[in-house]
Structure 1
Amino acid sequence: MTETTSAPDIAAGRLSKDALDQNFCDLHPLLDPHEAQVEADRCYFCYDAPCMNACPTGIDIPQFIRQISTGNPTGSAKTIFEQNILGGMCARVCPTETLCEQACVRNDAEGKPVKIGELQRYATDTYMHRGLPQPFSRAAATGKKIAVVGAGPAGLSCAHRLAAHGHDVVVYEAREKPGGLNEFGIAAYKATEDFAQREINWLMDIGGIELRLGQMLGRDITVDGLRQEYDAVFIGIGLPAASKLSIPGADLPGVESAIDFIARLRQSKDLSGLPIGQDVVVIGGGMTAVDAAVQSKLLGARTVSLVYRRGREQMAASRYEQDLAASHGVHLVFNARPAEIRGDNAAEAIVFEYTRQEGSNLVPTGETLEIAADQVFVAIGQWMDAETEDLELDGTTLARFDGNKSSVSNVWVGGDCAHGGEDLTVTAVEDGKIAAESIHRALSA
């Protein structure tokens, strides 16, 4: 993780602890039973369930909502967990506004979908708050042993499903904590009270899963070595390395990756000690960029600008996330790409070139914009940065075939490191589930 920069206008303690606690409280507090009942009653329980078709993990949404409406939230949670064992986190971080809720027929009737994400959280949180045991038990031991590389959503989903089938699983994780994107890569206000780790501990209760931390692929373990030791291998290492700017001034103090900033914030025990600039600029158009921009404002930055090189409609972050940023005072700038970061000994300003779209190409207009910036967070993409030996690539990510098989026998892949990964917890969970079922079929043949 990148160390905190020492630029002169980057300082801690811009807000009081009470103000920070308020700023970083739960974005969507848990529905109470009455609120959940009222919201569940809005569901039409459509026979063709367009919401279910829009869910990457295929959760039976009408069924779990019906169970809430009949006063059975624990049964509802089991329905969710059958398809998505990380349903609690997905209820917090999934862009439901572009998935299940966008497909909800209530949009046509009222212009307002059923709050599927909040109902999912109500069910899963109710189950976990009641201290109920893991709803799945292990099948008879198969004697097979599988290595899972990466303890993010894809790896954890794969490990849990394999353990349920009776296989023994060893999960290797490069970081000091498991969780991947859920632990290190999302805004703190989306998953409060250490939820990511509590969910992992709950998931691990199924048994049959061993976790080995500080084990990096290419440094401590290799694909070939794992293939020799285990009956199957799943690779779900995500995209841990951040892409860098290649413009003058990109190496000045005050410039760092947004993912490093978010990870540092998520692991901070005292946000009043976390330095932030007076004038912050975030470069990028995805969820990471929005999370970095909003949290900069919540930490007490005077101005925060989020600058994206294309138009609003091309942003990977949903319109809901864009509006969330704007509601917190983040200034959104579109059609501008960075040209130079200026400063004598640290970042002081960024010059952007305005752009226009010509087909699939961006063309500079000749106009420029300069924004004051003592701290710059770069969120322009991530890459794999791992030694994957003979595994075939499809572009810059791992090629995958039916059942998420890789190009090498007995090796499966999934999540963001696999071709077509979408930088979403829910799709990573589905990748892990698909791979686990494919592995189980192969080992049972």
Structure 2
Amino acid sequence: MDAKALAEGVIAGRLNADELAAGFTDLHAPLTDHEAVVAADRCYFCHDAPCITACPTDIDIPLFIRQIATGTPDAAAKTILSQNILGGMCARVCPTETLCEESCVREMAEGKPVEIGRLQRYATDGLMAKGVHPFRRADPTGRKIAVVGAGPAGLACAHRLAMKGHDVVVFDAREKPGGLNEYGIAAYKSTEDFAAREVDWLMQIGGIQMQTGKAVGRDITLEELRADHDAVFLGIGLGGVNALSAPGAEKDGVLDAVGFIADLRQTPDLSALPVGRDVVVIGGGMTAVDAAVQSKLLGALNVTIVYRRGRARMNASRYEQELAASKGVRIICNASPVAVHGNGSVREIEFEYTDDALQPTGQTFRLAADQVFKAIGQSLTGADLPDLAGGKIAVTGAGRTSLDGVWAGGDCAAGGEDLTVTAVAQGRDAAEDIHAALAT
């Protein structure tokens, strides 16, 4: 963490090693063999299953659950991975409560859906533990594709293209591949270096060359990539963080939540990560919840999420909101920051209540804060990009951009939903479109 974040009250080692280990254990324990069979037996195996429609990657959920129920979990894993090559991570981080499980007939009839996410993890983890890669690379085509960004969209695109027999070079600005799966997911959702292990497993398909520490615009240009490759896929994510416009936002202790989560994910020693006594997180999405919960797990005494709209409009799901509350995080809605107070470092942050139309009411309040995390959205960065729409890369069909031979997907593309599973679907579909275009 930036040394400027260190202020009175922001210290490392608030909790001992045992307390930290307990807080950052796996959020959901994996199912045992018996538990998986029992959970699978609850599925009705609907013919026109609404859960499939609700899954952005169109996994045949009743089929893979039936395969688990009949004692063939490896076949279930292949069913999942044929549609979603990052099915292991998605089983951990997907908001299944608002996707497949919300659409489950059991949920509608009884209020308790089939545990689709945990069953998906059971199948994919079992296959990965065996070191088995269920797909084979087709004969080489002689075509070479550049994939920019080693996040979910880029990895899914690269794997599908490699399966088709193309040679793929993946460029990523960071030192590790994985994108948000590696740097942006709460540590208690992805434990034991799962993101890195999943990338290593994915690379077993062959035909993919990974070049980390290579940023487009800094180390290589998009025009060079277009000249040297038969096609280019952009899965660059959103590298910029929206600014906090309130006066005093430049004070020490006002930080980006994305950077905080990345630091936490990469630190070898959680006890060395500074956290405030009074932490305020501004925002209402998954990043805000992840930053708030992890601050609490690091030992912060008071943690508050403040969101400008009503709770029903928070991007974080109701489940995530309840998770935050269960960890002692307070959530205040319909309030916007108007000033950051303090002499050099933040000491208080002032908010004003707003109505449903985001109009100020004139009522203000202050929260003590020695650490403030901004989780108010990210923005696209980069030069010489294809045409934009709404601040993201404009795409048509399966990710085609305004530049010939250039596709895009994931958070950087218009229509992205800031979900790992959606990014995987877009990367996969773009790869199929690239393959079809190269075959003509």
TM-score (norm 1): 0.98
Larger displacement relative to structure 2 (1-10 or 204-213): 1-10
Cα separation, 1, equivalents of 2:181 and 2:15: 26
* Residue number in structure 2 paired with 1:56: 56
Give the Å deviation of 1:411: 0.3
Structure 1 pair 217/3, CA: closer, same or farther in 2 (3 Å)?
A: farther
1:418 to 413, 422, 430: 413
* Residue number in structure 1 paired with 2:120: 120
2:429 to 429, 434, 438: 434
| Contact 1:239/1:416, CA 8 A, preserved across alignment | yes
Which residue identity does 2:351 align to in structure 1? F
Structure 1 pair 115/220, CA: closer, same or farther in 2 (3 Å)?
A: same
Cα separation, 2, equivalents of 1:2 and 1:76: 45
Larger displacement relative to structure 2 (18-27 or 104-113): 104-113
Give the Å deviation of 1:108: 2.3
Give the Å deviation of 1:187: 0.3
* Residue number in structure 2 paired with 1:371: 367
- 1:43 matched to 2:39? The reply is no
Which residue identity does 1:368 align to in structure 2? T
* Residue number in structure 1 paired with 2:167: 168
* Residue number in structure 2 paired with 1:72: 72
Which residue identity does 2:425 align to in structure 1? E
Which residue identity does 1:65 align to in structure 2? I
SS of alignment partner, residue 209 of structure 2: strand
Which residue identity does 1:54 align to in structure 2? A
SS of alignment partner, residue 102 of structure 1: coil
* Residue number in structure 2 paired with 1:258: 257
Give the Å deviation of 1:390: 5.0
| Contact 2:4/2:252, CA 8 A, preserved across alignment | no
* Residue number in structure 2 paired with 1:284: 283
SS of alignment partner, residue 179 of structure 1: coil
Which residue identity does 1:399 align to in structure 2? A
Describe how 1:261-410 pairs up with structure 2 within 5 A: 261-357=260-356, 361-387=357-383, 389=384, 391-410=386-405
Cα separation, 2, equivalents of 1:273 and 1:390: 39
Cα separation, 2, equivalents of 1:50 and 1:2: 47
Alignment deviations for residues 350-396 of structure 1 (CA, whole Å, 9 cap, x no partner): 10000001xxx311111011100000000000011112x15100110
Structure 1 pair 3/396, CA: closer, same or farther in 2 (3 Å)?
A: farther
| Contact 2:6/2:274, CA 8 A, preserved across alignment | no
Cα separation, 1, equivalents of 2:15 and 2:2: 23
Q: How many residues align?
A: 440
Calculate percent identity across the aligned residue pairs. 63
Cα separation, 1, equivalents of 2:235 and 2:299: 36
* Residue number in structure 1 paired with 2:11: 11
Give the Å deviation of 1:2: 4.9
Structure 1 pair 183/46, CA: closer, same or farther in 2 (3 Å)?
A: same
Cα separation, 2, equivalents of 1:61 and 1:444: 31
Which residue identity does 1:380 align to in structure 2? I
Cα separation, 2, equivalents of 1:23 and 1:108: 33
Describe how 1:210-225 pairs up with structure 2 within 5 A: 210-225=209-224
Which residue identity does 2:409 align to in structure 1? G
Alignment deviations for residues 385-434 of structure 1 (CA, whole Å, 9 cap, x no partner): 112x1510011000001121011100000000000111100000000001
SS of alignment partner, residue 30 of structure 1: coil
TM-score (norm 2): 0.99
| Contact 1:244/1:257, CA 8 A, preserved across alignment | no
- 1:85 matched to 2:85? The reply is yes
| Contact 1:4/1:275, CA 8 A, preserved across alignment | no
The CA RMSD over aligned residues, in Å, is: 0.9
Give the Å deviation of 1:8: 1.6
SS of alignment partner, residue 175 of structure 2: coil
| Contact 1:2/1:260, CA 8 A, preserved across alignment | no
Give the Å deviation of 1:4: 6.0
Cα separation, 2, equivalents of 1:2 and 1:330: 24
Give the Å deviation of 1:345: 2.1
SS of alignment partner, residue 189 of structure 1: coil
Structure 1 pair 96/67, CA: closer, same or farther in 2 (3 Å)?
A: same
Give the Å deviation of 1:3: 5.3
Alignment deviations for residues 247-277 of structure 1 (CA, whole Å, 9 cap, x no partner): 1110111000000000000001000010000
* Residue number in structure 2 paired with 1:204: 203
Cα separation, 1, equivalents of 2:338 and 2:33: 52
| Contact 1:281/1:375, CA 8 A, preserved across alignment | yes
SS of alignment partner, residue 185 of structure 2: coil
Which residue identity does 2:370 align to in structure 1? D
